[in-house]
Amino acid sequence: MAKKKFLKTVAALGAIGVASKIAYDKYKEVSARFEQEENDSISDEVRKYNAIFGNKVVEVNDEVFTGCEVKAIASNVVIDLGLAIFEKDVYIDFSSKCSNVTIVIPEGVNTACDVENHASRVNNLIENVEEDGIHTVYVIGTAVCSNIEIVPVNFYVDDDDDYEDIDSDEDLPENESGEPVCDDNSESADEADNDDAQEDLAAASENDDLEKMDDPDAEEDLCKLDGTEELTVEEVSK
């Protein structure tokens, strides 16, 4: 019985090893084909950008964009057209499987989507403008278990300027010399002011007690002010 279980385990591990080898060989084949297609399209009007089990960022800066083809398998792909030049309507043809594909569109360019969606999410955040001379990027393709986003160029810009910089010297309190001080010094100053205020109150209370005395120099009144009671000679003897 133990021998049969051992043989089954060996057979299962062998099957897993064979499947892994087949999957790896398939990956190498597809990866080599993707790389070859991309290299062959360097001089083409419509470039090809492919990715398999990886990350790819394509930036078109100060160049005329004439369209592209994208293939993504289990990858993150960004097509950044934020600084691209558009002279006509263009097409982005893509195929995505288990991938995230983000397309960044500059200002003054419209978009239109025609995506065959299979268990995927397609989100177009571009607000089209109906004006003469506005070019359009047509995004067409197939998405399988993927996330497709078309976003404006400033979508990922942080709005740090909308918030005040509390660390700047302009926002810090100033001392008598006009120099900024940090919050810790301000808190210490507040505590010192509170202590001074308490001392002033105590002094004022003591002054009130002195004013209420008929004779401030009298021993009886001083004892009352001191909080002690005057004892007679007989009481001391006891």
**Model confidence pTM above 0.75:** no
* 186 shares a domain with 89: no
Nearest to 126 by CA among 145, 147, 103, 143: 103
Mean pLDDT, to the nearest integer, of 35-63?
95
Q: Domain for residue 147, yes or no?
A: yes
* 134 shares a domain with 172: no
Mean pLDDT, to the nearest integer, of 174-193?
56
Percent over 70 (pLDDT), the chain: 58
The predicted pLDDT at position 188 comes to 54
* 98 shares a domain with 77: yes
Instruction: For residue 33, give its domain range.
Output: 27-152
C-beta of residue 146 within 8 angstroms of C-beta of residue 101: yes
Q: Domain for residue 158, yes or no?
A: no
* 115 shares a domain with 186: no
Choose the final residue of a domain: 152, 183, 212. 152
Name the residue with higher pLDDT: 150 or 25: 150
Q: Which residues partner with 68 through β-bridges?
A: 47, 92
* 148 shares a domain with 108: yes
Percent over 90 (pLDDT), the chain: 50
Q: Domain for residue 145, yes or no?
A: yes
H helices within the chain, ranges in order? 2-40, 183-212, 219-226, 233-237
* 204 shares a domain with 113: no
Number of structural domains (the chain) is 2
Q: Domain for residue 221, yes or no?
A: yes
Mean pLDDT, to the nearest integer, of 88-94?
96
* 148 shares a domain with 80: yes
* 113 shares a domain with 45: yes
Q: Domain for residue 97, yes or no?
A: yes
> Which of 28-32, 59-63, 220-224 comes out lowest in average pLDDT?
220-224
C-beta of residue 99 within 8 angstroms of C-beta of residue 73: yes
Cβ atoms within 10 Å of 214's Cβ, excluding its own: 7
> Which of 23-27, 79-83, 105-109 comes out lowest in average pLDDT?
23-27
The predicted pLDDT at position 25 comes to 81
Choose the final residue of a domain: 109, 131, 152. 152
Name the residue with higher pLDDT: 133 or 201: 133
* 115 shares a domain with 32: yes
* 148 shares a domain with 32: yes
* 200 shares a domain with 174: yes
The predicted pLDDT at position 10 comes to 58
Q: What is the mean pLDDT of the chain?
A: 77
* 114 shares a domain with 68: yes
* Model confidence at 26: pLDDT above 70: yes
Task: Record the tokens describing residue 50, joined without a space.
Answer: 């492919």
If phi over 0 gives left and psi between -120 and 50 gives alpha, with beta otherwise, what is residue 173?
beta
- The number of C-alpha atoms within 13 Å of 126 and in the hemisphere containing its C-beta is 27
